Amino acid sequence: MGTSGKVIKCKAAVAWEVDKPLSIEEVEVAPPKAHEVRVKIVATGICGTDDHVLKGSIPNIDYPIIPGHEGAGIVESIGEGVTCVKPGDKVIPLCLPQCGECSFCLNPDTNCCLKTHLHESQNLMPDKTSRFTCKGKAIHHFLWISTFSEYTVMPDSAIARIDDDAPLDKVCLFGCGFSTGYGAAINTAKVKPGSTCAIFGLGGVGLSVVVGCKSAGASRIIGIDINKDKFTKARELGATECINPQDFKKPIQEVLLEMTGHGVDYSFEVVGHTDTMVAALVSCHMGSGTCVLVGTPPLGSQLSFDPLLLFTGRTWKGCLIGGWKTKDSIPKLVSGYMEKKFNPDVLITHTLPFDKINEGFELLQSGKSIRTVLVF
């Protein structure tokens, strides 16, 4: 008795409105349409961005919605025309699709496919309908992948097949956190051996930047966080120094300039605040420093900074999902993990049953967790 072609009833976490805890509901998940895939999610991480969805602090979110974008699972069924995966394949849903055909996908210098939320809303499937229903009401998708549901549907441009042996409760972190931070150092900054790096924010994503800087051969890696409990893990992963802005009377950018002479070679903002974005720019080397924005700024925010900071030679850039062309790169990152090239397992501080999802968010909000992985 297969489920293919039928509606599946399963558990999902629904955000009915802003600023309310998630509610575990029974939802109905419609079968995939043409060029869509239905996936049984086995494990999903909780990322800072999911917390922003609950708080209503990111643009273009419609409620009710099923959040979650750091999952791993197994293909249950495929719609007409899908060739990239088949039922039974292990997969990672892609919160940034790669259609492979648009002018951005054909451009080697960007990973922002034209089918992303930057260009069109991903709160409904591409045909502008939902595959989720709860209590007779259509529920919105998040980034087309909604991994906080035991079964979820995504376009075939937003799914990548991974190694058959990959442990899904670990490699789910490649769907966002690890890939985002590691790629920011490797692809976007292109950190050079022997360089000095500063990372503002040592959550799951910031710690993944630390891993990227270390593997690129940086000799000095300075971690910055207002929560000193993050320092042990940062040192374990390669930070050579850790500092708390609250321990200094002067602004942290001045502290960094004093520590390094003329500023760091690479700085990374992994908090998502405009003040730390400008502090990270000021902290990098006046003539040759590169500052990379990784954290999403608050809804509607604007930056104010002295343009002279750029005149002398600093470079300011940003990236989404670490600049990876996702469908091509995430399977390779998972293979690298299987070959023990890097080990994001240390970022997983908690593993909880899916029903305890709100406990997972409390751990994130109180700064007690790096990554909580929920298992169905």
Q: Smallest distance from the beta carbon of 289 to ligand COD, in angstroms?
A: 18
Structure tokens at 61: 């979110």
Q: How far is it, in rounded angstroms, from Cα 352 to Cα 247? A: 34
Residue among 43, 72, 94, 99 that touches Zn ion (CB under 5 A): 99
Q: Smallest distance from the beta carbon of 72 to ligand COD, in angstroms?
A: 15
Residue nearest to ligand COD (CB): 203
Give 97's contacts (C-beta < 8 A, 6+ positions apart): 113, 115, 116, 144, 155, 157, 158, 326, 327
* Residue 271 near which of Zn ion, ligand COD, none (CB within 5-8 Å, type-dependent): ligand COD
Residue among 295, 323, 331, 360 that touches ligand COD (CB under 6 A): 295
Q: For residues 107-126, which are near Zn ion according to CB under 5 A?
A: 113
On the question of a cis peptide bond just before residue 155, with omega within 30 degrees of 0, the verdict is no
**Contact letters for ligand COD, residues 89-118 (x by CB under 6 A):** ------x-----------------------
Residue among 15, 61, 75, 105 that touches Zn ion (CB under 5 A): 105
Question: Based on CB atoms, which residue is closest to ligand COD, 95 or 211?
Answer: 95
Q: Which residues of 245-279 are buried (b: 16+ CB within 10 A; e: fewer)?
A: beeeeeebbebbbebbeebbbbbbbbbbebebbbb
Q: Smallest distance from the beta carbon of 183 to Zn ion, in angstroms?
A: 12
Determine how β-strand 151-155 pairs with β-strand 36-45.
antiparallel
| Residue 162 Rama label (left phi>0; alpha psi -120 to 50; beta) | beta
Residue 289 as a binder of ligand COD (CB under 6 A): the answer is no
Give 257's contacts (C-beta < 8 A, 6+ positions apart): 263, 282, 283
Decide if 196 contacts 289 (C-beta within 8 A): no
Backbone phi and psi for residue 247, each to the nearest 5 degrees, phi listed first: -85, 0
**Contact letters for ligand COD, residues 343-372 (x by CB under 6 A):** ---------------------x--x-----
Q: Under the rule (CB under 5 A), what is the footprint of Zn ion?
A: 47, 49, 99, 102, 105, 113, 176
Q: Under the rule (CB under 6 A), what is the footprint of ligand COD?
A: 47-49, 95, 176-177, 180, 200-206, 224-227, 230, 245, 270-273, 276, 294-296, 320-321, 364, 367
